[in-house]
């Protein structure tokens, strides 16, 4: 049951996967949805699937001008009030930290961390006026690290801290801040990551192939298997809706059995035992 009449919600990264599923579900529930995309083909796809309440907007979270234009557009259409912001845009850059170019690490953080904060800062005025809610799309990888996903893990660990601090700092204005921690989801983010992993592996110099080539192949296969068995993005969208509409939203949401099991084992097991379990799950 909705806590109040649906209002206006902004979602970043709504082209595919969790963002698209969340945008369409919120549209179905009667919200006015501004769905962030980066390509016209994705905007047109959303228009075909949704009602006129859903408006695609071009929003690159690393582009300050695009963010400012999005705020201007939403302000005009929402009477200066925003019911919710869903920070979903994200990428996953694979590779061993020893060999990962710093520029790639910085890009990972720019999209998954700095970009999310920049969007939130830009929309906080509207959120404060509407006593809205913020939902950040984290990951179980923000609580449990995995080999060869160090940059992605770091970005999600950072988002955990940002979410917690925001929740404390924004409480005086009644702005709730929640984080969603999905396990493995069947979304294009992993297809893109696996494709990039193949390219990176093939381009490794000989010494790096000797160090990490076999392990990278093993992990790549295991991640592919896990991704193929991932849960539907619609289940994560349901958690997003709860965080935006429940009278008492949770501070965090674990979605998927693998996320729940990993969280429990991380809490219960000694560190070295858990490390061995993670390595074994990756085939290492």
SS (H, E, C) 23-73: HHHHHHCCCEEEEEECCHHHHHHHHHHCCCCEEEEECCCCCHHHHHHHHHH
Tokens of 12: 């970043």
Residues 6+ apart with CB under 8 A from 1: 245
* Catalytic member of 152, 253, 267, 274: 152
How many CA atoms within 13 Å lie on the side-chain side of 94? 24
Two structure tokens written together for 207: 């010494």
30 φ, ψ (degrees, to nearest 5):
105, 0
CA atoms within a 13 Å half-sphere pointing along the CA-CB vector of 160: 16
Does the annotation count 152 as an active-site position? yes
Strand segments, DSSP code E, in 88-170 are 133-137
Q: Which residues are catalytic?
A: 152
């Amino acid at each position: 049951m909705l806590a109040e009449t649906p209002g206006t919600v902004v979602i970043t990264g709504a082209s595919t996967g969790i963002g698209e599923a969340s945008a369409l579900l919120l549209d179905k529930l009667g919200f006015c949805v501004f769905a962030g995309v980066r390509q016209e083909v994705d905007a047109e796809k959303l228009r075909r699937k949704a009602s006129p309440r859903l408006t695609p907007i071009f929003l690159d979270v690393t582009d300050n001008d695009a963010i400012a234009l999005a705020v201007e557009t939403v302000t005009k259409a929402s009477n200066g009030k925003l019911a919710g912001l869903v920070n979903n845009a994200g990428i996953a850059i694979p590779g061993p930290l020893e060999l990962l170019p710093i520029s790639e690490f910085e890009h990972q953080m720019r999209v998954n961390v700095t970009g999310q904060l920049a969007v939130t800062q830009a929309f906080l005025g509207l959120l404060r006026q509407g006593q809205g809610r913020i939902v950040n799309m984290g990951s179980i990888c923000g609580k449990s690290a995995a080999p060869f996903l160090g940059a992605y893990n770091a970005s999600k660990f950072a988002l955990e801290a940002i979410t917690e601090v925001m929740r404390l700092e924004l409480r005086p204005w009644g702005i709730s801040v929640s984080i969603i921690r999905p396990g493995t989801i069947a979304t294009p983010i992993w297809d893109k990551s696996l494709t990039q992993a193949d390219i990176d592996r093939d381009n490794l110099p000989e010494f790096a192939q000797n160090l990490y080539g076999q392990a990278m192949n093993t992990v790549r296969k295991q991640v592919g298997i896990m991704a193929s068995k991932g849960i539907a993005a619609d289940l994560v969208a349901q958690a997003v809706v709860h965080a935006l509409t429940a009278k008492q939203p949770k501070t965090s949401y674990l979605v998927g059995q693998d996320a729940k099991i990993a969280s429990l084992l991380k809490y219960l097991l000694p560190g070295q035992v858990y490390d061995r379990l993670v390595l074994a799950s990756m085939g290492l």
